[in-house]
Amino acid sequence: MASVGIPDNLLAGLVPGLTGHKTEKKKEAVKAGIFRSALRTAEDLDRTPAAEGVPFSEAEAAELLDTVHEAGENLKKDPDGERVKAYKTAVRNFVHYVVERAYDVVEKSSGGNILKRKKFTTVVVIDERLERLAAEVLSAQRDKLDILRRLDEIHGLLVDLLR
């Protein structure tokens, strides 16, 4: 008698324990490298605390703005590596503060058909005063930010040479 090969998906309802679905091997999560984890740790230390649900504080914004101006003046007087880092940190903290408190991201899905559903993301401006303040600061600090951009570009070229 000859045996007939029947695919598993046809036997799914006939044989107990056979579902007809192929079992997929689970992929193990790739552990982050030492450099990546150190970089994330350094970024977390540079940031201001998370601001979800925290209202806008003009005193805190003014303090961060003063820090940016002070670091910019120090950089203008003596442009060395330490002052560049201090200025970058001050600008990063100010921008992070503005983004966390001035904008809200709203995601909406369209339609009921899963196959034709589209996802829309809307950025809503919560505090226009804070947005205007950030725009003024960034425009006033444009020359210093240009210096930082050039320094980062040179640093990137030096890193590329080491490869």
Residues 120-148: pLDDT tens digits?
Answer: 887 777 677 777 777 887 787 787 778 77
Please tell me the predicted confidence (pLDDT) of residue 81: 82
Q: Domain range for residue 75?
A: 57-163
Q: Examine residue 113 and state whether it is found in any structural domain, yes or no.
A: yes
Lowest mean pLDDT among 22-36, 50-64, 76-90, 95-109: 22-36
Domain assignment present for 6: no
**Torsion sign over Cα 134, 137, 140, 144:** negative
* 115 φ/ψ angles, rounded to the nearest 5 degrees: -70, -30
- Give me the sign of the Cα torsion angle 28, 31, 32, 33: negative
- Residue 89 counted as domain residue: yes
At what angle are helices 81-102 and 128-140 packed, to 10 degrees? Answer: 160
Q: Helices 34-46 and 81-102: crossing angle, nearest 10°?
A: 70
More confident residue, 103 or 16: 103
Please count the structural domains in the chain: 1
| Spatial CA neighbour of 92 closest among 153, 152, 38 | 152
Structural domain contains residue 76? yes
pLDDT of residue 150: 80
